[in-house]
Amino acid sequence: MSTRSIDRRSAEMSLAYVLTAFFFFGIGALAGLLQGLVRGGVITLPEWINYYQILTAHGVLMGLVFTTFFIVGFFYAGMAKTITLPKLSVKLGWLGWVVMFFGTVMAVATISTGEASVMYTFYAPLKASPWFYIGSTLLVIGSWIAGAGMTYAYTQWRKQNTNQRSPLFTFMVMATLVLWYVATLGVAAEMLFQLIPWSFGWTDTVNVVLSRMLFWFFGHPLVYFWLMPAYAAWYNCVPKIIGGKIFSDSLARVVFILFILLSIPVGFHHQLTEAGISEKWKIVHVALTLGVVLPSMMTAFSSFATFEAVGRAKGARGVFGFFKKLPYGDVRFFAPFMGMLFFIPAGIGGIINTSNQMNVVVHNTIWVTGHFHITVGAAVALTFFGIAYWLIPSLMGRQLTKGAHRAGIIQTLFWTVGMLIMSGAMHFMGLLGVPRRTDYTTYMDDPLGLSWMKYETLMAIGGVLLFISAVLMICNAIYLWKFAPVGETEFPMAENSLEVRQQTPRILENWKVWIAILAFLILVSYGYPIYDAIVHAPPGAPGMKTW
């Protein structure tokens, strides 16, 4: 008999998001493979495809579409598990899916017809078809609708459970949503007031400085929007999988609050080499960025504390003996664990990127691309894969079989090795000065350009392994969705008893306080620069089509 872990309506809606995520992930992976092969000099694209076109498709589909669909699906499922979803939430979930899907199709269509090779950052003055901007905006609006469904479920729960701290997972969903709503205001303003009117020809020029500021107001918290769901799995699901407990309820909540506060007023760390923003403001953003190290360290600390506690309970000895006791044969643990390991060099790389002087060395080199493939492309992606292995069968009422575990471990290994090779090559090339976002070139057979080719080839080899892994992942997902034997798969969610939760300070769930502090920090860090960019606007730029 089939037994779903949550009610059927919620399960079907969440699954729609997760499966759509993997559908677009597949197309994105193909684009990634082609990029690697082109840059490595292995293949040449046919006349009718432009390198920057597939680069745009890859960045948009992986960075914006795969992640957002997966996150919404996972969050809805986790909320259904911890507090259950009212009917209205499920309806809003479906509506959000439709709007997001429609927006994505619009954006992908304009990329396919070559009207939007502006890459996933759509930096002005590169100018795409208005329908690309409208499609991307719909993707965001769809996520707002989905977020409204979750917020409704949360407020209903709180009404029925006055004076109770919410379950940790639900709290984390709400914290991520607070961040997402505030962050997306920046990109929505850029789209609605700048890019869309300009691309329709209603305005002749665009204020480039302002548009990039607004983009990164959104762009940095975007990376925390990817990371916080992965952390939610590290805090709630991984401990349950390995038979442990949540290390500390309040610590986990403080971490998420810190992410809300510190991930928005830091966008200038992406613009350190950019004219039009004074050094003083850049330093404010850099200082706040370094503050974000703290919650990540706290997460690492509590994750490994949980591992240690579990290992010792199983009889581990010595300082690091507990590593031997962890269930590496369980893909639900193995995949996110590999992701955690990737996050160690990734975090160090992030500190390098944000340090003013070192940023000059790596800025706009392919080092940066190496960096975000080990953060979002590995730490986050591997965690999402690990979640998918139990989430899909558990929502379908099917079994995560031994064979699927094994296939999952192999898939994880391919991804891990592929990413080590590809990102390793990218990091190394970046230090040599190799630019990111470039089609195949030997720079007119310049000896320096030629000397880079061997690393480009290495990068392509890593890309091939990653692509094999992506195909395996999709096959596994389809198997678990449609073909695995009917049965039951646990929805691993470590939950603290109400007693423990009630010891957590009440203020941590007082959103008004945190939103007010966030507004203050935003005012301090962005208020004057944005005012300045508007009042002392640079000469506007006409649109450019460089492809």
Catalytic machinery residues: 220, 224, 371-373, 436-437
Task: Decide: 98 and 17 in contact? Cβ < 8 Å.
Answer: no
CB of 253 to Cu ion, least distance (A): 23
90 binds ligand HEM (CB under 6 A): no
- The distance of closest approach from Cβ of residue 439 to ligand HEM in the complex, given in angstroms and rounded to an integer, is 7
In the complex, the smallest distance separating the C-beta of residue 200 from ligand HEM, rounded to whole angstroms, is 24
Residue 220 interacting entry, from ligand HEM, Cu ion, none, C-beta within 5 to 8 Å by type: Cu ion
Q: Which of residues 197-236 bind Cu ion (CB under 5 A)?
A: 220
Contacts 24+ apart (CB under 8 A), 120-124: 120/56, 120/59, 120/60, 120/63, 120/64, 121/59, 121/215, 121/219, 122/195, 122/215, 123/211, 123/212, 123/215, 124/194, 124/195, 124/198, 124/206, 124/208, 124/211, 124/212, 124/541, 124/543
Q: Given its phi and psi angles, is residue 49 left (phi above 0), alpha (psi -120 to 50 degrees) or beta?
A: beta
Q: Give yes or no for a contact between 97 and 17, defined as CB atoms under 8 angstroms apart.
A: yes
- Using CB under 6 A, which of the segments 7-15, 275-283, 289-297, 464-472 binds ligand HEM? 464-472
Q: Which of 96, 142, 463, 492 binds ligand HEM (CB under 6 A)?
A: 463
- Interacting positions 94-133 with ligand HEM (CB under 6 A): 119-120
The DSSP secondary-structure symbol of 497 reads -
Complex with Cu ion: residue 4 or 220, whichever CB lies closer? 220
User: Closest approach of Cβ 293 to ligand HEM, in Å?
Assistant: 22
Vertex 246 angle, CA 244 and 252, to 5°? 155
Residue with smaller CB distance to ligand HEM, 111 or 168: 111
Stretch that binds ligand HEM, among 295-303, 434-442, 480-488, 502-510 (CB under 6 A): 434-442
Q: Using an 8 Å Cβ cutoff, are 65 and 24 in contact?
A: yes
Q: Show the site string, 41-80: x = touches ligand HEM by CB under 6 A, - = not.
A: --------------x--xx--xx--xx-------------
Q: Which of 389, 386, 413, 387 is nearest to 401 (CA)?
A: 389
Q: Which residue is nearest to ligand HEM (CB)?
A: 32
Cβ–Cβ < 8 Å for 382, 412: yes
SS3 84: coil
Q: Binding of Cu ion at residue 253 (CB under 5 A)?
A: no
Q: Is 36 in the site for ligand HEM (CB under 6 A)?
A: yes
CA distance 2 to 76: 21
Which residues make up the interface to ligand HEM (CB under 6 A)? 29, 32-33, 35-36, 39, 55, 58-59, 62-63, 66-67, 119-120, 366, 369, 373, 376-377, 381, 436-438, 463, 466-467, 470
Instruction: Tell me which residues touch Cu ion (CB under 5 A).
Output: 220
